[in-house]
Amino acid sequence: MNAKIKPRTPFSPLQRIPVFLGCLLLLVYAADRGIGAWLSHLQARDRAGMRAGGRLQRVLSGQVHPVLLILGNSRATHGVDPSQFPYPAFNLGHDGRHIYFMTGAVGLLEEEGRLPPALLLHVSREDFVEDSAEAYTLMDRRFLRTFWRPGNWVDRAAAT
Protein backbone atom coordinates (compact mmCIF):
# COMPACT_ATOMS: atom_id res chain seq x y z
CA MET A 1 0.00 0.00 0.00
CA ASN A 2 2.93 2.31 -0.50
CA ALA A 3 1.62 3.54 -3.81
CA LYS A 4 2.74 7.03 -4.70
CA ILE A 5 -0.08 9.44 -5.26
CA LYS A 6 0.53 11.55 -8.30
CA PRO A 7 -0.63 15.18 -7.77
CA ARG A 8 -3.19 16.39 -10.24
CA THR A 9 -2.42 19.67 -11.99
CA PRO A 10 -4.85 21.52 -14.22
CA PHE A 11 -2.26 21.80 -17.00
CA SER A 12 0.10 19.30 -18.52
CA PRO A 13 3.77 20.32 -18.78
CA LEU A 14 3.34 21.35 -22.41
CA GLN A 15 0.28 23.43 -21.58
CA ARG A 16 2.10 25.32 -18.83
CA ILE A 17 4.46 27.08 -21.27
CA PRO A 18 1.76 29.06 -23.16
CA VAL A 19 -0.02 29.81 -19.88
CA PHE A 20 3.22 31.11 -18.38
CA LEU A 21 4.00 33.19 -21.50
CA GLY A 22 0.44 34.56 -21.54
CA CYS A 23 0.67 35.58 -17.88
CA LEU A 24 4.08 37.12 -18.47
CA LEU A 25 2.78 39.07 -21.48
CA LEU A 26 -0.20 40.30 -19.46
CA LEU A 27 2.11 41.37 -16.62
CA VAL A 28 4.45 43.24 -18.99
CA TYR A 29 1.47 44.95 -20.66
CA ALA A 30 0.04 46.04 -17.30
CA ALA A 31 3.45 47.34 -16.18
CA ASP A 32 3.86 49.25 -19.44
CA ARG A 33 0.43 50.90 -19.11
CA GLY A 34 1.06 51.74 -15.45
CA ILE A 35 4.50 53.26 -16.06
CA GLY A 36 3.15 55.18 -19.08
CA ALA A 37 0.28 56.60 -17.01
CA TRP A 38 2.69 57.59 -14.24
CA LEU A 39 5.04 59.34 -16.69
CA SER A 40 2.10 61.16 -18.33
CA HIS A 41 0.99 62.29 -14.88
CA LEU A 42 4.46 63.65 -14.16
CA GLN A 43 4.59 65.44 -17.51
CA ALA A 44 1.18 67.03 -16.89
CA ARG A 45 2.43 68.41 -13.57
CA ASP A 46 5.67 69.78 -15.04
CA ARG A 47 5.70 73.54 -14.56
CA ALA A 48 9.41 74.23 -14.56
CA GLY A 49 10.61 72.28 -17.58
CA MET A 50 12.27 74.16 -20.40
CA ARG A 51 10.47 71.97 -22.91
CA ALA A 52 7.16 73.10 -24.36
CA GLY A 53 5.17 70.89 -21.95
CA GLY A 54 6.45 72.73 -18.91
CA ARG A 55 6.17 76.09 -20.62
CA LEU A 56 2.62 75.41 -21.79
CA GLN A 57 1.68 74.25 -18.30
CA ARG A 58 3.06 77.49 -16.86
CA VAL A 59 0.77 79.54 -19.11
CA LEU A 60 -2.24 77.24 -18.60
CA SER A 61 -1.85 77.33 -14.82
CA GLY A 62 -1.64 81.13 -14.74
CA GLN A 63 1.93 81.15 -13.46
CA VAL A 64 2.85 83.63 -16.21
CA HIS A 65 0.61 86.32 -17.71
CA PRO A 66 2.13 87.43 -21.02
CA VAL A 67 0.70 90.11 -23.26
CA LEU A 68 2.54 88.52 -26.19
CA LEU A 69 2.91 84.78 -26.67
CA ILE A 70 5.65 83.62 -29.06
CA LEU A 71 4.90 80.32 -30.81
CA GLY A 72 7.02 78.37 -33.25
CA ASN A 73 9.72 75.80 -33.75
CA SER A 74 13.41 76.08 -32.85
CA ARG A 75 13.80 79.28 -34.86
CA ALA A 76 11.28 80.99 -32.61
CA THR A 77 12.73 79.37 -29.48
CA HIS A 78 16.30 80.47 -30.12
CA GLY A 79 15.77 83.47 -32.40
CA VAL A 80 13.17 85.52 -30.52
CA ASP A 81 14.09 87.04 -27.16
CA PRO A 82 10.97 87.89 -25.11
CA SER A 83 12.89 90.45 -23.06
CA GLN A 84 13.31 92.64 -26.16
CA PHE A 85 9.61 93.55 -26.24
CA PRO A 86 8.31 96.58 -24.31
CA TYR A 87 5.57 94.49 -22.66
CA PRO A 88 5.48 91.07 -20.97
CA ALA A 89 6.20 88.35 -23.51
CA PHE A 90 6.61 84.61 -23.12
CA ASN A 91 8.33 82.25 -25.58
CA LEU A 92 6.38 79.04 -26.04
CA GLY A 93 8.48 77.93 -29.02
CA HIS A 94 9.85 74.41 -28.96
CA ASP A 95 12.45 72.57 -30.97
CA GLY A 96 10.82 70.15 -33.40
CA ARG A 97 7.23 71.35 -33.00
CA HIS A 98 5.19 72.53 -35.92
CA ILE A 99 1.89 74.15 -36.87
CA TYR A 100 -0.28 71.42 -35.32
CA PHE A 101 1.32 71.91 -31.91
CA MET A 102 0.99 75.68 -32.19
CA THR A 103 -2.67 75.40 -33.19
CA GLY A 104 -3.25 72.96 -30.34
CA ALA A 105 -1.58 75.25 -27.82
CA VAL A 106 -3.68 78.22 -28.97
CA GLY A 107 -6.85 76.08 -28.80
CA LEU A 108 -6.05 74.89 -25.28
CA LEU A 109 -5.18 78.39 -24.08
CA GLU A 110 -8.40 79.76 -25.55
CA GLU A 111 -10.50 77.06 -23.86
CA GLU A 112 -8.86 77.76 -20.51
CA GLY A 113 -9.29 81.53 -20.89
CA ARG A 114 -5.51 82.06 -20.86
CA LEU A 115 -4.99 83.25 -24.43
CA PRO A 116 -3.00 86.51 -24.42
CA PRO A 117 -4.09 89.46 -26.56
CA ALA A 118 -1.17 89.14 -29.01
CA LEU A 119 0.50 86.15 -30.69
CA LEU A 120 3.76 86.04 -32.62
CA LEU A 121 3.59 82.92 -34.75
CA HIS A 122 6.66 81.64 -36.58
CA VAL A 123 5.84 79.09 -39.27
CA SER A 124 8.13 77.22 -41.61
CA ARG A 125 7.66 76.07 -45.17
CA GLU A 126 7.81 72.47 -43.90
CA ASP A 127 4.52 73.01 -42.07
CA PHE A 128 2.74 73.27 -45.40
CA VAL A 129 4.61 70.75 -47.56
CA GLU A 130 2.37 67.72 -47.90
CA ASP A 131 5.02 65.00 -47.48
CA SER A 132 6.39 66.24 -44.17
CA ALA A 133 3.25 67.87 -42.76
CA GLU A 134 1.56 64.55 -41.95
CA ALA A 135 4.59 63.22 -40.06
CA TYR A 136 4.86 66.46 -38.09
CA THR A 137 1.15 66.33 -37.28
CA LEU A 138 1.51 62.84 -35.81
CA MET A 139 4.49 63.90 -33.67
CA ASP A 140 2.67 66.98 -32.39
CA ARG A 141 -0.50 64.98 -31.66
CA ARG A 142 1.54 62.55 -29.63
CA PHE A 143 2.93 65.43 -27.60
CA LEU A 144 -0.47 67.08 -27.06
CA ARG A 145 -2.07 63.89 -25.72
CA THR A 146 -0.95 64.96 -22.24
CA PHE A 147 -3.50 67.76 -22.44
CA TRP A 148 -6.33 65.59 -23.74
CA ARG A 149 -9.71 65.69 -22.03
CA PRO A 150 -12.99 64.51 -23.56
CA GLY A 151 -14.50 67.32 -25.63
CA ASN A 152 -11.53 69.70 -25.60
CA TRP A 153 -9.56 70.96 -28.58
CA VAL A 154 -7.14 68.00 -28.69
CA ASP A 155 -10.06 65.54 -28.67
CA ARG A 156 -11.88 67.34 -31.50
CA ALA A 157 -8.71 67.69 -33.59
CA ALA A 158 -7.82 64.01 -33.20
CA ALA A 159 -11.22 63.06 -34.61
CA THR A 160 -10.50 64.88 -37.89
Q: Are residues 112 and 137 in the same domain?
A: yes
SS3 54: helix
> What mean pLDDT is reported for the chain?
78
Rounded to an integer, the average pLDDT of 57-65 is 84
At CB < 8 A and 24+ separation, what contacts does 106-114 make? 106/71, 107/152, 107/153, 107/154, 107/157, 108/56, 108/60, 108/144, 108/147, 108/152, 108/153, 108/154, 109/59, 109/60, 109/69, 110/153, 111/152, 111/153, 112/60, 114/59, 114/60, 114/62
Q: Please give the DSSP secondary-structure letter assigned to residue 68.
A: E
State the residue range of the domain holding 62: 48-159
Quick: pLDDT tens for 94-143: 887 777 788 888 888 888 888 999 999 888 777 666 665 566 566 666 66
Q: Are residues 73 and 100 in the same domain?
A: yes
Q: Are residues 116 and 127 in the same domain?
A: yes
* Structural domain contains residue 21: yes
* Structural domain contains residue 17: yes
Q: Does the global pTM surpass 0.85?
A: no
Residue of 25, 4, 116, 23 lying closest to 70 (CA atoms): 116
Instruction: Indicate if the pLDDT at residue 23 is higher than 70.
Output: yes
